[in-house]
Structure 1
Amino acid sequence: MRLQDYISLGWDQLKRRMVVTLLCAMGIAIGSAAIIVALAFGESITHYAKVQMNSFLKMDEIHVSANGGGRSVEGSSVQEGLTAPKIELIRKLPHVRSAALFRTIDYLSFKVDDTKQGGLRLVQADLDKLAEYGFEFGQGSPSAQDNAIVITYAATFDLFDTRLAQLQAQGGDVGDSRDRLRVSYPLYQKRLILTQTIADANGIVQKTNEYPVRVVAVLKKPEGTVGYEGESIGYISEGLAERIMEGAKAGRDGRTAQEPELVIKVDQPSNVAGVESLIRKLNLQTQSNIHYEKETNDQFRIIRFIFGGAGAFILFVASISIVVAMTMSTYQRRRQIGIMKVLGANLKQIRNMFIVESALLGVVGGLAGILFSYWVIWAINIVLQRFAESDEILFISLWILPVGLLFALLTGVASGIYPAVKASRTDALTAIKRD
Structure 2
Amino acid sequence: MAPAITLAADAPTLSAANTGFMLICTALVMLMTPGLAFFYGGMVRVKSTLNMLMMSFISLGIVTILWVLYGFSVAFGDDKGSLVGWNSDWVGLSDIGLTELWDGYTIPVFVFLVFQLMFAVLTPALISGALADRVKFTAWALFVVLWATVVYFPVAHWVWGAGGWAFELGVIDFAGGTAVHINAGAAALGVILVIGKRIGFKKDPMRPHSLPLVMLGAGLLWFGWFGFNAGSWLGNDDGVGALMFVNTQVATGAAVLGWLAYEKIRHGAFTTLGAASGAVSGLVAITPAGGAVSPLGAIAIGVIAGVLCAMAVGLKYKFGYDDSLDVVGVHLVGGILGSLLIGFFATGKGQSDVAGLFYGGGLDQFWKQCAGVFGVLAYSLVASAVLALLIHKTIGMRVSEDEEVAGIDQAEHAETAYDFSGAGGGAARTPANAPIAPAESKKVDA
- How does the TM-score come out when normalised to structure 2? 0.20
Higher RCO, 1 or 2 (CA under 8 Å, sep at least 6)? 1
Report which of the two has the higher share of strand: 1
Task: Decide which structure has the larger Cα Rg and report it.
Answer: 1
| More helix, by proportion | 2
Q: What is the TM-score normalised by the length of structure 1?
A: 0.21
